[in-house]
């Protein structure tokens, strides 16, 4: 591998110098605060679009919620990275994002458990127990989906 054979600090310095050259070659004079606001705004727009698409359909599937979770994670990462240069109001958004991601992660766990159970069910001889477990997981998935949607709806709008 490249990192094992070369000193990491040299690679990082080269990458930083290359990024600086590319940034300066653009001819734009952008401040870090403006750049941070643009990145956060793009991530927020992506999350808003995915939330809007999910709100339009009658029943939200796991793939849609996973897309929302990815967009929320991206927004959270940008907010945490640029927290020192952004306004203080974003900490409130960050708290809501963490709560929404936790709810989405719980939903994902329930859906993954159901998928595993359905995959191994044919090999089990306890059909009634499997059916009961699937019913319970379906109810848990509905409850977790409602909680996740509630958390997503509580996200404040960014400027």
Contacts for 108 with CB less than 8 Å, ≥ 6 apart: 62, 65, 66, 69
What the block records as the tokens of 89 is 């109001």
CA–CA separation, 33 and 86 (whole Å): 7
Domain ranges of the chain: 32-153
Residue 14's pLDDT is 81
pLDDT in tens, 3-19: 456 577 777 778 777 87
* pLDDT of 1 strictly over 70: no
| 98 in Cβ contact with 76 (< 8 Å) | yes
pLDDT in tens, 29-84: 568 788 888 888 898 889 888 878 877 777 767 777 778 888 888 888 888 888 87
What the block records as the tokens of 111 is 């859906």
* pLDDT of 159 strictly over 50: no
157 pLDDT band, cuts 50/70/90, is low
pLDDT in tens, 106-149: 888 888 888 888 888 777 777 788 888 888 888 888 888 777 77
pLDDT in tens, 79-99: 888 887 777 666 667 777 777
């Amino acid at each position: 591998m490249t990192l094992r054979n070369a000193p990491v600090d040299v690679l990082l310095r080269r990458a930083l110098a290359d990024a600086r050259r590319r940034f300066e070659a653009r001819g734009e004079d952008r401040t870090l605060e403006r750049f941070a606001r643009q990145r956060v705004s793009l991530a927020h727009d992506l999350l808003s679009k995915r939330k809007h698409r999910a709100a339009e359909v009658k029943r939200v599937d796991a793939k849609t919620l996973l897309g929302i979770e990815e967009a929320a994670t991206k927004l959270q990462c940008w907010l945490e990275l640029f927290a020192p240069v952004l306004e203080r109001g974003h900490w409130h958004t960050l708290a809501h994002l963490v709560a929404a991601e936790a709810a989405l992660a719980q939903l994902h766990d329930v859906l993954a458990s159901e998928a595993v159970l359905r995959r191994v069910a044919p090999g089990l001889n306890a059909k009634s127990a499997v059916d009961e477990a699937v019913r319970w997981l379906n109810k848990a998935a509905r409850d977790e989906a409602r909680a996740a949607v509630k958390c997503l709806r509580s996200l404040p709008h960014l400027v």
